[in-house]
Amino acid sequence: MASKSAHDDPFTCPRSVLCKSEAGKTGDWRSSRPEIDLKKCIPSKSGKHACHLCWMYCPEGIVKRSIPVEIDYDYCKGCGICAEECPAKAIEMVKERVD
């Protein structure tokens, strides 16, 4: 029988379906959100898969490894790790708007 890894466990895998459930939604407490400047983002401007460090490091697993790169704001916690890790300085943390 194959051994179990952390990613087989639906309660610990950051990209599990359970993480993207109603209970995992962020709500309205987030103070800032990451915004991607697609003119600076390497895969978004080149049209080729490259970099994707924001996808790799996001602890919530909610950055889409797509072209252009997308963030699911329903689940983003605003931790800022993606902005810290982006080698192109394409992600800026901006204050949440209070409407």
Residue selected from 24, 64, 70, 77 as contacting ligand SF4 according to rule CB under 6 A: 77
Q: How far apart are CA 51 and CA 65, in angstroms?
A: 10
CB of 95 to ligand SF4, least distance (A): 13
> What CA–CA distances, in Å, run from 58 to 39, 69, 78?
21, 13, 10
Q: Is 64 a binder of ligand SF4 (CB under 6 A)?
A: no
Q: Is 42 a binder of ligand SF4 (CB under 6 A)?
A: yes
Q: How far apart are CA 94 and CA 99, in angstroms?
A: 15
Q: Is 25 a binder of ligand SF4 (CB under 6 A)?
A: no
